[in-house]
Structure 1
Amino acid sequence: MRMPNPRVLAEVLRTGHVHARLRAAREGLTGVRLQVIAAALDLGLLDALGEGPAGTEQLAGRLGVVDHDLLAAYLRVLAAAGLVTGEASWRLTRYGRAVAGDDVVRASYEGFGGYHSELYRALPALLRGGPGRHDTVDSGEVVARLSAAIHPLIRDLLVRTVTARRPRRVLDIGCGAGLLLAAMLEAAPEAVGIGVDVDPDVAALARRTLSERGLADRAGVEEVDIREALAAGLPGALADGIDLALLANSIYYVPVDERVELLRAVARLLTPGGALLVVTTVAGPQVFSRHLDLLLRAQDGRMELPAADVLLGQLREAGLQPDPPERIGPAGAALSAVTAIR
């Protein structure tokens, strides 16, 4: 291999910001890789290869693809990215199987390759007064599946809280995939529970989780916006006292000027001495925290991440007595929990 001319290398080093250029190229390739994999999931290509190895033409038939040459070129990109191998007969690598089969990994590529990065392509129009986004509605199921990534971080806290308080009725507001509701019920075998979520697809996902865990006879899931139901005086299954309510990574989907009203309504559902556990990403200097705050502010309805001290004040204003926040996860994480007692 012929080495580059030293004078050319010296010229490269003298011109521009070399480290910035290298970082831009590295991060650019990372961005390309993200979109490469997201497209494979959207196309159904990884699932199609999960049925078994296939040549390009056979795979095109499975996918309904008519441009075989373009498909072959795309498969070579996926091969370079380490997801598939074997051009004569394409098959998934171990990594490709993990992307297709691990739902948290899959949801991560779908979410960050979708609405998380689409935000920045839409940002110029948003900054000039364009309409707000609707990611929580349009991508509700992916949002719920992504939240499963932090389930282990919250589960230990939930088990400790449930074990100490021994609730008879639990409530999960914005229950997502139902994993945390299931964790509460498993930690309190005598308890019954209710989950609420405004998205029908997400509510169906939660019901499936409860059924798979053998908990369907102890819990139900309602497709309802709890703010509207409580404001209308129609609490439904929530009419009986709740001993422990959970708001896990959902308080920031409520516009700031409506949060105290929601917290006050939830407080009224609690039995005397009952508790509301709020788990949330808080506003902080971390890149993801800043990004999520921007994403929320770009939504129709102007949401935002809560600052820890502001959240404590809102809980007090709602008539609850909050304990000091507890950080969840490793140092530097922006995930915190607050227990507030009625």
Structure 2
Amino acid sequence: MTLSGLPEGSTERERMQAAWVAELVLQLVGKRKKKEKIRILDIGCGDGLVTVALIEASPQVFVISVMPEEAVPLVYALLNPYAESNRCCPAPLDIMEYLPGTDRDVIDAAVAIFSLHRLKAEERAFALNELIGFLKPGAGIVVDGGAEVAEELTKAGFVDVAQQTRGDLAPVVSARKPV
């Protein structure tokens, strides 16, 4: 996948990681009718690479990109062209403040790369329990991490929990909300 919107400073490995995560998310979401939007929540979106990869992976994708306040100027500059074309909605909100106010059963997939692992264990458990509430039944989630994260997803009620690896890229865990 060519990621045309990524900043000059991103490395090939970062681009490959972002493209792989986007691929996993779309596999979890599955085929949709051509005009049906795929709503994805990118939690803590980092530098915006995964958000761009998700948007460029499919014309059906709409990403709600939640980021910490300190990331706003950099990420907004990257995501503004996509926001202007109604492909994403960057939101400068703290993850713990955002989750409880989210409508339920409206998101097709969630991505949390380099964000949930920064939370304390009890905050991460809270976030995962909130995530399962606003994902649609059968919706997917991809988060960074290993066995500990897989166990936390299982405790939060997610199913089909699987650790994913590809070459030397950072491992991720995928799962689904039960149907």
Give the TM-score of the pair, scaled to structure 2.
0.78
Instruction: Assess, with a 3 A threshold, how the Cα gap between structure 1 residues 255 and 218 changes in structure 2: closer, same or farther.
Output: same
| 1:221 equivalenced with 2:90 (yes/no) | yes
| Shift in Å, 1:153 | 2.1
Asked whether the equivalents of residues 41 and 63 of structure 2 are also in contact (C-alpha less than 8 Å), the reply is yes
| 1:205 equivalenced with 2:74 (yes/no) | yes
Determine the C-alpha separation between the residues in 2 that align with 1:328 and 1:243: 24
Q: For 1:214-240, what per-residue CA distance to the aligned partner results, in whole angstroms no more than 9, with x for missing partners?
A: 45322111111121233xx423xx566
Determine the C-alpha separation between the residues in 1 that align with 2:22 and 2:61: 14
Instruction: Assess, with a 3 A threshold, how the Cα gap between structure 1 residues 190 and 224 changes in structure 2: closer, same or farther.
Output: same
**Alignment root-mean-square deviation, CA:** 2.5
The structure with more helix, counted as a fraction of residues: 1
Determine the C-alpha separation between the residues in 2 that align with 1:221 and 1:239: 19
Q: Which has the higher contact order (CA 8 A, sep 6+)?
A: 2
| 1:181 equivalenced with 2:51 (yes/no) | yes
Provide the aligned length of Structure 1 versus Structure 2: 164
| 1:327 equivalenced with 2:162 (yes/no) | no
Instruction: Assess, with a 3 A threshold, how the Cα gap between structure 1 residues 102 and 209 changes in structure 2: closer, same or farther.
Output: closer
Identity across matched positions, percent: 24
Larger radius of gyration: 1
Q: Give the equivalent residue in structure 1 for 2:148.
A: 310
Instruction: Assess, with a 3 A threshold, how the Cα gap between structure 1 residues 240 and 186 changes in structure 2: closer, same or farther.
Output: farther
Asked whether the equivalents of residues 154 and 328 of structure 1 are also in contact (C-alpha less than 8 Å), the reply is no
Q: For 1:13-44, what per-residue CA distance to the aligned partner results, in whole angstroms no more than 9, with x for missing partners?
A: xxxxxxxxxxxxxxxxxxxxxxxxxxxxxxxx
Matching of residues 27-66 of structure 1 within 5 Å: none
What is the letter of the counterpart of residue 74 of structure 2? Answer: L
Unmatched 5+ stretches in structure 2: 1-6, 31-36
| 1:243 equivalenced with 2:108 (yes/no) | yes
Q: Give the equivalent residue in structure 2 for 1:256.
A: 121
Asked whether the equivalents of residues 28 and 140 of structure 2 are also in contact (C-alpha less than 8 Å), the reply is no
The structure with more strand, counted as a fraction of residues: 2
Determine the C-alpha separation between the residues in 1 that align with 2:22 and 2:117: 20
Give the TM-score of the pair, scaled to structure 1.
0.43
Q: Give the equivalent residue in structure 2 for 1:151.
A: 15
What is the letter of the counterpart of residue 156 of structure 1? Answer: W
Q: Give the equivalent residue in structure 1 for 2:176.
A: 341
Asked whether the equivalents of residues 83 and 89 of structure 2 are also in contact (C-alpha less than 8 Å), the reply is no
Unmatched 5+ stretches in structure 1: 1-100, 106-147, 281-307
| 3-state SS, counterpart of residue 278 of structure 1 | strand
